[in-house]
Amino acid sequence: MSNVALHAEERAGRTLDRAIYDRFLPMVRRTAMRFARKVPRHITVADLVGYGWVGLMEAYRRADPSMPPDEFEAYASYRVRGAMLDYLRSLDPATRELRKMSRKVTETIRGLTSRLGRAPEEEEIAQGLELPMPDYRSLLERIASAGMARLELLDTDNLDIEGDVDSVDDDVGKKQLGAAVADAIELLPARLQQILALYYQEECTLKEIGAVLGVTESRVSQLHTEAMHRLRALIGRQ
C-alpha cells in the first residue's frame, strides 16, 4: 500500500479523544461566543459550538497525522469557523433576505449622508430605498423582530475567516468601538439620541419611551431600528 493510501486510511480512522477535546474546547467556545455577539439572539452559543465540533472533527479526519501541532491548530480553527459560517448561511431564507435588506438600509443611509452632507430625513431614506413610507416603517419593524436591530450585528454572508485574536486585542477593539459609537451618537437627530438615552441609559421599555414621546410602542421600535442603522452607517465611514 502506498504512503498516500496509508495516510488516507489513518485519517479516516482518527477520532477525537479526551485530550484533543480539552485542548480545543476553549478555541471552539471562544469562536462561538464571538459569532454569537454578531448574530441575532435566537442563535445560541450552544448551537454554534455544536457546529464548531463538526468542523473540528472534519479537520481531524482530513489532516495529515504528521502535520505539526501549530499548523493543525491553524487548520482546525479555519475548519471550525467554516462550519459555523456554513450553519449561519443555511438559516431560514427569510432571515437571509432581512439581513440583505438591513444592509441595504445601512448602505442607503451612508450614501445619502455622503451626498447630502448631513443626516438624511426619514422620508429621504424611504425614497432612497424606493419604498413608500408605510413599507419602510414595516421593514424596520420586521428587522427589529428578527433581532437585527443591534449595533454589533455583522453580515454573516460576508464574514472573512481570519485567525483568532487574543483577549487583549478583543478589549482594545471593544474600547475603539465604544469610542466610535459615542462619537456617532452625537451626529444622530436629537429625537433618536433621546430614544437611545432612554433605552440604554435609563433602561426604559419601548412602551415607556413611547409614553414620553407621545407615540406608539411600535413607532419607537421603528425609530430605534433606524437609529441602529444610522450608527452602523456612520461608524462604517470612520
Residues 62 and 104 in one domain: no
CB atoms within 10 A of CB 50: 15
Average pLDDT, the chain: 81
- From 89, 113, 146, give the residue that closes a domain: 89
In angstroms, what CA-CA distances link 212 with 115, 186, 188, 208? 33, 21, 19, 6
- Its domain, for residue 10, covers 3-89
pLDDT of amino acid 149: 77
Residues 125 and 232 in one domain: yes
pLDDT of amino acid 132: 97
Q: How many domains does the chain have?
A: 2
Percentages helix, strand, coil for the chain, rounded to the nearest 5?
75, 0, 25
Instruction: Tell me the per-residue pLDDT of 130-164, one tens digit each, with 9 for 90 and over.
Output: 999 999 999 999 998 887 776 555 444 444 333 34
Instruction: Tell me the per-residue pLDDT of 73-87, one tens digit each, with 9 for 90 and over.
Output: 889 999 999 999 888
Q: Please give the model's pTM, rounded to 2 decimal places.
A: 0.61
Distance of alpha carbon 154 from alpha carbon 81, whole angstroms: 15
- From 67, 89, 111, give the residue that closes a domain: 89
Residues 181 and 223 in one domain: yes
Residues 103 and 188 in one domain: yes
pLDDT of amino acid 37: 81
pLDDT of amino acid 134: 96
Instruction: Tell me the per-residue pLDDT of 30-44, one tens digit each, with 9 for 90 and over.
Output: 999 988 887 777 788
CATH number for the domain spanning 100: value is 1.20.140
DSSP 8-state class, residue 204: -
CA atoms 97, 98, 99, 102: torsion sign: positive
* Confidence check: pLDDT of 29 > 90: yes
The share of the chain scoring above pLDDT 90, in percent, equals: 42
Distance of alpha carbon 22 from alpha carbon 178, whole angstroms: 34
